Amino acid sequence: MATQTESELKMAHLMVEVLNLEDMEANEIDPEEQLFGDGLGLDSIDALEISLAISKEYGVQIKAEDEGTREAFATLRSLTAFVEKNK
Amino acid sequence: MQAKELKCKIAGIGAWGSYFDSWEALQQLLGGEPLPETSNKGPKPTIIPANERRRAPLPVRLAVESSWQATQSAGIEPSALTCVFVSGLGDTDLTDYMCKTLASEHKELSPTKFHNSVHNAPAGYWTISTGTMSAANSVAGYEESVSLTLLEAMIQCSTEHKPMLITFYDSPVAEVLRPILNNQETFAFSLVILPYNSETDGTTVEAQVAENDHASWPMLQSQSEYIGRLYSDNPSAKVLCLAELIAKSSGEQSVVMPLSKGSTMTITCT
Mutate to test the interface with A, among B100, B110, B114, B115 (most CBs of A within 10 A): B110
| B128-172 per-position pLDDT tens digit | 999 999 999 999 999 999 999 999 999 999 999 999 999 999 999
Q: Which of B50, B112, B115 sits opposite A22 (nearest CB)?
A: B50
Contact B55 A55 (CB under 8 A): no
**Is the Cβ of B55 closer than 8 Å to some Cβ of chain A?**
yes
pTM of the model: 0.92
| CB-count exposure of residue B267 (10 Å: 0-12, 13-18, 19+) | buried
Domain count, chain A: 1
Q: For the domain that residue A74 is a member of, what is the CATH number? A: 1.10.1200
| A6-60 per-position pLDDT tens digit | 999 999 999 999 998 877 899 999 999 999 987 788 988 999 999 999 999 999 9
In a domain, A24, yes or no: no
Q: Which CATH code fits B10-203+223-250?
A: 3.40.47.10
Contact A49 B50 (CB under 8 A): no
In a domain, A29, yes or no: no
Whether ipTM tops 0.90, in short, is no
Alpha-carbon gap: B118 to the closest alpha carbon of chain A (Å):
17
Task: Provide mean pLDDT across the span B214-224.
Answer: 92
Task: Provide mean pLDDT across the span B85-89.
Answer: 96
**Is the Cβ of B110 closer than 8 Å to some Cβ of chain A?**
yes
Structural domain harbouring A64: 6-16+34-86
In a domain, A69, yes or no: yes
- Tell me which residue of B111, B83, B84 sits closest to B97, measured CA to CA: B111
| B57-71 per-position pLDDT tens digit | 999 999 999 999 999
Rg, Å, chain A Cα set:
12
**Is the Cβ of A67 closer than 8 Å to some Cβ of chain B?**
no
With a cut of 90, say whether residue B210 has pLDDT above it: yes
In a domain, A23, yes or no: no
What residues in B contact A55, CB-CB < 8 Å? 108
